Structure 1
C-alpha cells in the first residue's frame, strides 16, 4: 500500500477544516452529530486522491521532469568503469546535467555487498544521445567512464540458473 503524498494529506486536512467550520461556526445552532463530522473527514480521504489525480495530470508544465516521460520514451544506459566509491546520487547528478534521469542502479556483488564498478541509468530517450556523447570517455572521480546504450538482457534458462 502506498503512503499518502503531502498533497493528499493537505487536501484531507482542508476537508477536515471545512467540516469543522460548517459544524461549529456557520451552523452553531443546528444540532450536528460528531458522526457527520467524522463522515465528512472519512469521505475526504477518498476525494483527496481524486482531486490530486486530476490536478497533476492537467498541469503539463510540471517542474519534475520525471513525470513528463512516458514508459515508451525511457531508455537505459550502461555506465562502466565507475569508481567503487561513487553512489547513486553522484551518478544521478552527473547524468541529470544532460537530460531527464528516471533512475540509477549501481550494481553490487551479491556476496560482499561491494559495488562492482558499473551500473545503469534510465533516461528519457530524447536525451540518450546527448548523454552518451557528453559523458563517454570522460573522467569522473579519477576514472574514465564508458557510457553506451544498454543491451537487452537475454532470457535466463534453467541451464543458466544451475550455474548460480
Structure 2
C-alpha cells in the first residue's frame, strides 16, 4: 500500500470541504449516493502519485535500483564511516558506507564500500580517485558484483 504524503492529504481535505458544500446544495442526491461518490473520489485521490519538489541536490533516490556501489581502497585505518560519508557527499548523494574489518582481530582492513546515487557515481570516481584523504591516496572504483559459489 502506498503511503499518503502531505500533498495528498491537503488535496483530500480540499475535496472534502468542496464536496460538503456541493452536496449540501444538491437536493437530488441521497445520503447513500453522496457517500459512494465521496468514497470513489477519495480512492482516486489516494491513488495519485503526486511528485514532490526538492530543493536539495542530495536527495534520497526513490528506489534502491538507482544506487551504485563504489569500492574505496587504501583507506587510513583510523577512518570512520561518518568522515568518509561527508567526504563523498561533496559530489552527490551517499546512501551508506561500509568499512570492512578482519573477523578474527576486529581491526580495519583499509578498504570499504560506499552506496551512492547512480547518476553521481562516475563524478565521484573522477573527482576522488587518486586524491588524498587523511594523508592516504584513495583508490575509488566501481565495485565488482559479489560472486556466490
TM over 0.5: yes
Alignment partner of 1:95 is 2:88: yes
Give the gaps of 5 or more residues in structure 1: 1-53, 158-164
**1:59 Cα deviation after fit:** 3.1
User: Paired residue for 1:131, among 114, 118, 124?
Assistant: 124
Stretches (4+) displaced over 6 A: none
Pick closer, same or farther for the CA change 1:109–1:66 going to 2, 3 Å: farther
2:61 and 2:67 in contact (8 A); partners too? no
The SS at the match of 2:60 is helix
Match of 1:61 in 2: 54
What are the equivalent positions in structure 2 for 1:1-164 lying under 5 Å apart?
Answer: 59-61=52-54, 63=56, 65-155=58-148, 157=149
**Residue 71 of structure 1: how far off its partner (Å):** 1.4
Q: Which moved further from structure 2: 64-73 or 77-86? A: 64-73
Structure with higher RCO (Cα < 8 A, 6+ apart): 2
For 1:87 and 1:96, locate their aligned partners in 2 and report how far apart those are by CA, in whole Å.
14
> How much is the aligned-residue C-alpha RMSD, in angstroms?
2.0
TM-score of the aligned structures, taking structure 1 as reference length: 0.57
Cα deviation, residue 64, structure 1: 8.7
Hey, what's the Cα distance between the residues in 1 that align with 2:113 and 2:59? 16
**TM-score, structure 2 normalization:** 0.62
For structure 2, the 5+ residue unaligned runs are: 1-46
Post-superposition shift, 1:111? 1.0
